[in-house]
Structure 1
C-alpha cells in the first residue's frame, strides 16, 4: 500500500459519514504543487490553530497526485481540502464537496495567470515560434488535473489553434510546476507551463535559475484556488470552519507569516461553487475539441460522443449551481 493510502486508512476508523460532531479527528487534504514535505510544513501551523477552534485533532495529508485528495474526500477520509479549480470540480461532482472559501494573495489579488516559459537564451522568442516549430522542441505540460499548468494553456494555446500537444512536440512530459521550472532552467526541456504564483516563489527560492527564464505567454486572470469541505459535515462544524478561515490572518503577527509561507497569501474570503463555472466551461470545450481532433474516432460516432460530453457537463453545471444548505 502506498504511504498516502496508508495514512488515510489509519484515519478511517475515527471518522463517521454523518459529519464530525462526534469524531475525534478531522483531516485537511492538500494538493502539493512543489513537494509533499514543503506543503505540509507550510500548512502545519494553520492546522494547529484549527485544532484549537474545532476542539479535535486536525491531520494533514498532502499529495502531488491531485486525484488522491479527491478520492480521500469521496471516501470521507478527508473532510476539508485545498484544491485547484479543476480538481475542485471533480470533488463537487463525485466527492460530496462544496466550495466555501477562496485564497487571497498577499497583494489582495483574487487570481493568478498561467504561463509558458523558456530559457532566456532559447531560440523560442515567442509563442508563435513555439507553435510553428513544435517538432524541434520538448515541452513540459502540467499535471492533467492542474488548472494553470494544463487546462488553461490547453484551451487558450492549443485548442484555439487546433493543436494536439501530445502530437505537436518532439517530446512531452506531464509533471508539476516545480519540476517543469527546473527542467527548463537546466536545459532539459525547451518550454513548459507554469503560473505567476509559483514563479513568484521560484524567484526567491531558486534565484539563480530564475534569471535563466523568459515568459513567452500569459493567460487572462484565473480565480485563486478554492477551499472545500464535505457537504455532510454538521452545520455547527461548517460554521466554525468558515469563521476560522475567514478570520485567519486578520490580526497580523504569526498568522500573516504562516500565510505568506503557504503561497504568499494574506487570507481567505467567502466563495461558492460558482467560481468553478468558467473552468467547467473550458473543460467541456477542451473535451469537445479533443474529440473533434481525434482521427481514430469514426465520424459516425463523433456526434453521439459529443452529446455525451455535453450531457456530462450539463450535469456538472447543475451541481455547481446548487446553493449550499446548512
Structure 2
C-alpha cells in the first residue's frame, strides 16, 4: 500500500492521512466530493504535428475540422503544431513537442530510428491509391523540353528544390536523376534555391528559376490556388510511385489513447449517413486525402531503400584517395543499410 495511505494508530494517524487523504480515497475507490482539490484532473493535451503542404497557416486550416472531431472523440484537447518547413517539424519531433505527426517517409524513418515513434496509418489518396510521384517541372514555353535538355547543359540552369528531408523535393530526384549519372544537383546547376513546393512552382512560373521539384498533391493544390501560373508549367520527369505519407505516434503513448486514436483515424470518413458525409468533406479539405489505411513500420522500407541508394550512388561517384577507401565506404554503407532495415522491422 502507498506510504501516504498506510493506517497508523494513535496520534500518528491524523498526521499520516492528512497529507495522503486524496490518495487514500483513490486507492480504496471511495467517492470524492465535488469540492475536493484536484478531483477532476484535466486530460492531457494531444499535440498533433503537421507536415507543411503550402503554408503553415493553410495546413492548420486544412486539418482543423478533422482534429476538432478527434478532440471530441478522445475527450481531450488537441493542439495543432503546424510548421513552415520539414526541418521545423523534425525539430518539434526531436524536442518531444508532438505526440502524433503527419510526416513524409524520410521524416518517419528518422522518427522511428531516433525518436521512439511508430507508424499507425498511411494516407489514402483521392483516387484510392496509397502512393505519390515526385516531379521536375519547367515552364511549358521555356527552353527545357525534356530531361535530356536539362542534363545536356550543366552550369546553365537555375534550380529550386525542397529541403533535404523532403522525399519528393530532394531525395527522389537526387536518387533517380542526378546521383546515378555521377551528378550532384547542388553543383550541377548555376544556382540553387531551397523552398516549399508552392514557392518553387511560383518561381518557375515567374521565370526566377528554370526547373523545380514538386509532387502530385502539392501541384494539385497549386492548380487550385494559382490556376494561371499552373497553366504555364509542365513536368519533364516523374518518379516511380512513392508510398504516401504516414501517421506516427510516440511509443510511450498510453495504450488506450493509442487504440482510440488508431480507431478514429482508420474509421474517419466511413461513418454512416450525414456524419460520414461531413467527415468526407473535412478530409477533402486536405489536399488529395480520402482517408487513412492501417499500416506499420514496414510501409517505410521503400524510403529506406531510396535513401541508401542515394548515399551509395554518391559514394560510388565521389572522389577518393584510392579505390580501397571507396570500397571500404561502400561496404560500410551496405552494413548500415542492413542495420536500418533490422531497426525498422523489429519495431
Bucket of the pairwise TM-score, normalised by the shorter protein: 0.7 to 0.9
Q: Which residue of 2 aligns with 1:183?
A: 203
Contact kept in structure 1, 2:131 and 2:241, CA below 8 Å: yes
Q: After superposition, what is the alpha-carbon deviation per residue over 1:131-182, rounded to whole angstroms, capped at 9, x for unaligned?
A: 1113221011221111111111111111222211111111112221111101
Q: Hey, what's the Cα distance between the residues in 2 that align with 1:270 and 1:199?
A: 26
Task: Report the TM-score when normalising by structure 2.
Answer: 0.83
How far residue 274 of structure 1 moved from its aligned partner, in angstroms, is 0.8
Matched, 1:29 2:49: yes
Contact kept in structure 2, 1:75 and 1:95, CA below 8 Å: no
Listed as ranges, the gaps of 5+ residues in structure 2 are 1-40
Matched, 1:88 2:88: no
Q: Which residue of 2 aligns with 1:279?
A: 303
Secondary structure class of the residue paired with 1:108: coil
Listed as ranges, the gaps of 5+ residues in structure 1 are 1-20
Q: Which residue of 1 aligns with 2:333?
A: 309
Change (3 A) 1:315 1:22: farther
Change (3 A) 1:292 1:164: same
Q: Hey, what's the Cα distance between the residues in 2 that align with 1:22 and 1:91?
A: 28
Contact kept in structure 1, 2:43 and 2:75, CA below 8 Å: no
Q: After superposition, what is the alpha-carbon deviation per residue over 1:89-142, rounded to whole angstroms, capped at 9, x for unaligned?
A: 101111101111011112211111111100011110100100111322101122
Matched, 1:228 2:251: no
Q: Which residue of 2 aligns with 1:13?
A: none
Equivalent of 2:187, from 167, 175, 200? 167
Task: Report the TM-score when normalising by structure 1.
Answer: 0.88
Q: Work out the number of aligned pairs and report it.
A: 302
Secondary structure class of the residue paired with 1:135: coil
How far residue 22 of structure 1 moved from its aligned partner, in angstroms, is 8.5
Runs of 4+ in structure 1 displaced over 4 angstroms? none
Q: Which residue of 2 aligns with 1:77?
A: 97
Q: Hey, what's the Cα distance between the residues in 2 that align with 1:168 and 1:28?
A: 38
RMSD of aligned alpha carbons: 1.7
In our comparison, the structure showing a higher alpha carbon Rg is 2
